[in-house]
Amino acid sequence: PLANVAAEAAVAAFRSAPDGPPAVVVTHLHRAMSHTRGAAVAVAELDPAAGLLRYAGLGNITGTVLAPDGTRRGLVSLPGIAGHQRPTVRGYDYPFPSGATLVMQSDGVVDRWRAEDYPGLFGRAPVVVAATLLRDAGVRRDDACVLAARIPS
């Protein structure tokens, strides 16, 4: 129940977040969740015109960019708990080439999966990528989620 209250507060805050880069949105989420037990949060913004991914994360969220050539780059999520510990929130920009896939996952999903163990998967629809990783790497039912995204060609 306490986690549900935090999740609902995060969703409501996200819907009312000011326009701005991911670090501004994460800061807004942190402030709006101060009455809850807190949570891990991350916000990603894909900018196809610039070929960039803008990202800010706080807590146990793993973010990864998988380029079409198979290279894998981890994204920085800073330590902390949105709504509790006064965090330092920073945004980071990463190259996001055409055809790249963004994968974000909670700490209930093991981050040791390898793209090469899934030939062809990262060319599939993002929902298929997310479902496959959740099926194979999800270790806890209460805190296991995967988001995958790609800019359509």
The CATH number for 58's domain is 3.60.40.10
pLDDT reading at 42 higher than 90: yes
pLDDT confidence of residue 152: 78
DSSP tag of 115: G
Look at the chain and report how many structural domains it folds into.
1
Number of H helices, E strands in the chain: 3, 8
105-126, pLDDT tens digit by residue? 988 888 888 999 999 999 999 9
Q: The domain containing residue 71 runs over which residues?
A: 2-149
Phi-psi region of 62 (alpha: psi -120 to 50; beta: other; left: phi over 0): beta
The reported pTM is: 0.90
